[in-house]
Amino acid sequence: MAPDDPVKPDRGSEWFVPQFGSARFRRAVGLLFLPYTAMVISFSVMGSMFARNLHWDRVAAIGFIYFLGLGVGAHALDALGSKAKKPWGDVFGKRQLWFIAGCSLTAAYLIAAYYMVRFVPNLLFIALLEGFFVFAYNLEWFGGRYHNDGWFAFSWGFLPVLAGYMIQTNTLSVAVLPVALSMALFSLVEIKASRPYKVLKQRGSSLGETDVSLMTQYEAILKSISLGVIMLGVGLLLFRLFG
């Protein structure tokens, strides 16, 4: 997921927003921040892949939980809590965003609750932490204290790896902690590149040649790190399937 920026509301020109279809369709896809959401889903998959005994239904479940909770719910709240007014234009109203966030988060927690009640009660601790950050980060509670790069990396890089392992084992392992830390660092790189990229992107035609070159470099970093993380997750998944 990506941070807010107060420079200009409309984010419809960013690289992950499709350039085809209606304005509503384009903004709806953009709201999901699909490359960044896929990174977080990959983190959860990686965590699962380190479990000795693998339950494939739980791999799918934790991925879907993060798609609903982060990809849909957290990003809808991000649009509501943004310092920039209406970062996705006039396509979504506040009531619509609250409805989207409420439905997706409810569905995510219902799926998680099923597994916590039946198999992995310790997943509750991560679920509570992620639930806190969904609101504290995206709605900028506590004066924005938790809306910074460090907490972003922790909540959407470190914790998803632990969640993926936890849903498989109901415990944690020392071996999975360095993996979680490495994914947090990748998330930190993503957010550090994303902030200045958006500032430059939203300035549009007023950019000079140097700024255009810098923006292109930031975009290349964002594309490379998101695709690299996704491919790593896919590679580990294929290894456990066929290795």
Which residues touch 156 (CB under 8 Å, ≥6 apart)?
A: 1, 40, 43, 70, 133, 187
| pLDDT tens figures, 18-67 | 989 998 899 999 999 999 999 999 999 999 999 999 999 999 999 999 99
Q: How far apart, in Å, are the Cα atoms of 156 and each of 25, 117, 140, 236?
A: 26, 24, 16, 19
Output the 3-class SS for 98-137: HHHHHHHHHHHHHHHHHHHHHCCCCHHHHHHHHHHHHHHH
Higher pLDDT: 4 or 180? It is: 180
Give the residue from 152, 109, 103, 149 showing the smallest Cα distance to 128.
109
Is 123 in contact with 163 (CB distance < 8 Å)?
yes
Is 36 in contact with 47 (CB distance < 8 Å)?
no
Extract the tokens encoding 228.
């690299």
Q: How far apart, in Å, are the Cα atoms of 176 and each of 46, 55, 131, 201, 228?
A: 9, 17, 22, 37, 19
pLDDT confidence bin for 181, thresholds 50/70/90: very high
Output the 3-class SS for 17-59: CCCCCCHHHHHHHHHCCHHHHHHHHHHHHHHHHCCCCCCHHHH
Model pLDDT, residue 132? 98
Which fold would CATH assign to domain 23-242?
Farnesyl Diphosphate Synthase (1.10.600)
With a pLDDT cut of 90, the percent of the chain lying above it is: 80
Mean predicted confidence (pLDDT) in 192-196: 94
Distance from C-alpha of 159 to C-alpha of 46, rounded to nearest angstrom: 12
Q: What is the rounded end-to-end Cα distance, in angstroms, of the chain?
A: 31
Is 122 in contact with 171 (CB distance < 8 Å)?
yes
Mean predicted confidence (pLDDT) in 159-183: 98
Mean predicted confidence (pLDDT) in 179-187: 98
**pTM given for the model:** 0.93
| pLDDT tens figures, 108-136 | 999 999 999 999 999 999 999 999 999 99
Is 143 in contact with 103 (CB distance < 8 Å)?
no
Tokens 């699962």: give the residue.
Answer: 48
Distance from C-alpha of 52 to C-alpha of 54, rounded to nearest angstrom: 6
Domain boundaries of the chain, sorted by first residue = 23-242
Q: What is the DSSP letter of 188?
A: H
Q: What is the DSSP letter of 88?
A: T
Model pLDDT, residue 3? 46
Mean predicted confidence (pLDDT) in 83-95: 75
Distance from C-alpha of 102 to C-alpha of 142, rounded to nearest angstrom: 21
Model pLDDT, residue 8? 47
Task: Please state, rounded to an integer, the average pLDDT across all residues of the chain.
Answer: 92
Distance from C-alpha of 24 to C-alpha of 37, rounded to nearest angstrom: 20
Whether pLDDT at 6 is above 70:
no
